Structure 1
Amino acid sequence: MKKLTIIDKYILKRYLSTFSVMLLLFIPVGIIVDVSEKINKILENKVPFVKVASYYLDFIIYFANLLFPIFLFLSIIWFTSKLANNTEIIAILSSGISFRRFLRPYIIGASIVSLFALLMGFFLVPKASEGFKTFRYMYLIGNGRNEMRETEDVYRQISDTEFIFVSNFNQAAKTGYNFVFEKFDGERLIYKISATSIQWEPKDSTYTLLGYNKRTIGELNDKIETENTKKMKFKFELDDLTPVIYIAETLNLTELNKFIEKERKRGSSNINRYLVVKYRKYSIPISAFILTIIAVAVSSMKRRGGMGINLAIGIALAFSYVFLDKIFGTLAEKSSINPIIAVWTPNIIYGALAFYLLRNAKR
């Protein structure tokens, strides 16, 4: 790699320092807004100060990761527009440096920020997401303890040959309704257990089944057992009957890959949601390069309206990127769209825009 020149160091320093200042300025604003909205609920529920402090530490990481594209885009627009208004860019390009060469410190800065975002997404953000979302469901959302888990039409494959289903689960009572357990040998059903309800008994780690019915499939005749109440032990855990809806967001990359593979074998209906979380860990860091190029191309020209025009364009582009990312992510979770296509579509669209703007900026 070629040695950095004084101009490279100057631009790289402005790139990283402006991005850091942007984070330091907006995160306290985000905390103040969140506190003003949630303070009544926090006081009403008498949440301990330690838990509130822990929540806002997680909030900082979660908030920074969520709005990472906006912070990055605005910081580059800001300091590059200042360079353009001070005619520093004209002076740099007039000295014989090509626009491509001018971009080098920006790409180095994007690489540093991208690596930081990648490591955060793999290790820090999952833990922060767990603390952030659990706190909100436990203390800030009405009836949140129930809403944080899947409670309706839960169908799970708990092993290669065993399947369970409950039509509804009451978290407070630890009771599931219209329970079904099926055991297979290949494609052949061996037996099927059904019950009007299944209740977890924490004292002895068993389940109590009401309206118990077991049908064992025979070659000529089926064997049927019925009991009003029956205690049983199963291999599955309570969380299998009522999984946390945001579980994938709380796992690091290694844990997430194992979890997705496990859920794929179980035939989980939420597999697309988990894949979206996984692919975003890679797409967000790559967006640093795309947004950097767009921001430089937009703000490197000195405009009649000054920095305000560049900031207006930057804000519009940054929020449209986040909007598209959310739209396509939701489509992947709720429809049959391939998750990897949905997650990468905003980067593809804005990558094409970056290429177009870069060609015009060179001229």
Structure 2
Amino acid sequence: MRKLDWYILRKFLGTFFYAIGILIVITVVIDISEKLDDFVKSHLSVKQIIFEYYIGFIPHIAALLFPLFVFIAVIFFTSRLAYRSEIIAMLSAGISFRRMLRAYWVGGVLLCVLLWAGNRWVVPHADRIRDAFEDKYVNDVDESKQISNVHLRIDSFTYVTMYVYDPIYKYASGFKLEKIRNQDLYYRLEAQNVRWDSTHKTWNTGPCVVRTFNGLQETARQLADTNLKIPLSPEDLIQRSNITETLTTPELNAYIAREKLRGSEGINALYVEKYRRDASAVAVVILTLIGMAIASRKVRGGSGLHLAIGIVIGSAYIVVLQFSYTFSIKGNLSPFVAVWLPNVLFGAVAFALLRRAPK
């Protein structure tokens, strides 16, 4: 890294953090205006609002628009360098275009690592804080609603059925536990009701019937009650649809393995979230190179023309990304392909633009 590299890197990072800072301030102001009535109604102090909500909201919104604002920042400061003929001066001094890219590579990789770490650990914790606050003070979440017709696979050979589950009393009626091996039922427990014991982490049944099967032979016995220690908790029955956003990547991997074992629907959406955290970080480097290639040429329209082209390309990237996500979640497209396909396509665009950039 020479003096020129540090000059470009300072411009790069300074422009980006200034732009993302302005975005955060504007977004927070808009969000406060929308939720002010809820804050006042709940008699929340400024300290509560900041440390129980916006400490989670700010990382969420920053990570959401991180790649796009890296792209805009690169286009903005590079087009200014080109407009002031600084890039022409660098090339005239014998500095190759490839050598000039070094600072962009360093800045892009630094921001890529920052977003990668944030997506895997920081943002999920922030989303957990934000969701807990919104559920408590903003959203009208009915946690007392009963759940009907529960069917779950809790391990490789055990299935649980509940007719009705009450989340307030942690009570279920019409309980049935079955064990199947090689497509043959060999154990069944039936109980009129079960209740969750939070102290011992078990399900307590009332009078129940246990049936065992050995081929065509059936044995039945009645028990007064029993304690079932199975890998199923009340939280598993009432999990929200956006639970994956609040899980760190190690927790998400464990959650995917469990849901896959249970045969749950929507597994593709979980894999899309998992791969997205890495792919969006790599997109930072790709968009950095595209932005540099576009804005390094001095044109009559100046920064305005470069920004217009950048907005078109950024919009195209988002459209392709959303289409691929939808085809994976709603269709049969592989989640890995769906998440990485936009990066591959725009990586090819970056390569083509860099080859045609002024040398």
TM interval, shorter chain, is: 0.7 to 0.9
**More moved, 43-52 vs 128-137:** 43-52
Amino acid in the other structure paired with 1:301: R
Aligned residues: 357
1:117 and 1:140, CA in 2 relative to 1: closer, same or farther beyond 3 A?
A: same
2:7 aligns with 10
SS in 2 for 1:254: helix
2:80 aligns with 82
Alignment of structure 1 residues 338-353 onto 2, 5 Å: 338-353=334-349
- Is 1:183 the counterpart of 2:175? The answer is no
1:240 and 1:24, CA in 2 relative to 1: closer, same or farther beyond 3 A?
A: same
Deviation at 1:104, TM superposition (A): 1.3
Q: What is the CA deviation profile of residues 264-315 of structure 1, one whole-angstrom value per residue up to 9, with x for unaligned ones?
A: 2232323222222221221111111100011111111222222112112222
Instruction: Choose the corresponding residue for 1:271, options 256, 267, 270.
Output: 267
The whole-number CA distance in structure 2 between the counterparts of 1:302 and 1:211 is 82
1:46 and 1:241, CA in 2 relative to 1: closer, same or farther beyond 3 A?
A: same
Instruction: Choose the corresponding residue for 2:109, options 111, 121, 139.
Output: 111
Instruction: Give 5+ residue unaligned stretches, structure 1.
Output: none
1:355 aligns with 351
1:20 and 1:168, CA in 2 relative to 1: closer, same or farther beyond 3 A?
A: farther
2:19 aligns with 22
Percent identical: 33
1:136 and 1:151, CA in 2 relative to 1: closer, same or farther beyond 3 A?
A: farther
TM-score normalised by structure 1 residue count: 0.85
Instruction: Choose the corresponding residue for 1:55, options 53, 56, 61.
Output: 53
Instruction: Choose the corresponding residue for 2:288, options 281, 286, 292.
Output: 292
- Is 1:139 the counterpart of 2:137? The answer is yes
Instruction: Choose the corresponding residue for 2:127, options 126, 129, 137.
Output: 129
TM-score normalised by structure 2 residue count: 0.86
Amino acid in the other structure paired with 1:350: F
The whole-number CA distance in structure 1 between the counterparts of 2:354 and 2:209 is 69
Instruction: Choose the corresponding residue for 2:257, options 256, 261, 282.
Output: 261
Instruction: Choose the corresponding residue for 1:305, options 282, 296, 301.
Output: 301
1:164 aligns with 160
8 Å contact from structure 2 (residues 201, 229) kept in 1? no
The whole-number CA distance in structure 2 between the counterparts of 1:171 and 1:34 is 32
Amino acid in the other structure paired with 1:164: V
8 Å contact from structure 2 (residues 127, 245) kept in 1? yes
8 Å contact from structure 1 (residues 155, 268) kept in 2? no
Deviation at 1:5, TM superposition (A): 2.2
Alignment of structure 1 residues 191-210 onto 2, 5 Å: 191-193=187-189, 200=196, 202=198, 207=203
Instruction: Choose the corresponding residue for 1:96, options 94, 97, 120.
Output: 94
2:228 aligns with 233
Amino acid in the other structure paired with 2:134: R
8 Å contact from structure 2 (residues 67, 281) kept in 1? no
2:32 aligns with 35
The whole-number CA distance in structure 2 between the counterparts of 1:213 and 1:330 is 46
Deviation at 1:214, TM superposition (A): 5.8
Alignment of structure 1 residues 321-336 onto 2, 5 Å: 321-336=317-332
Instruction: Give 5+ residue unaligned stretches, structure 2.
Output: none
Deviation at 1:137, TM superposition (A): 3.1
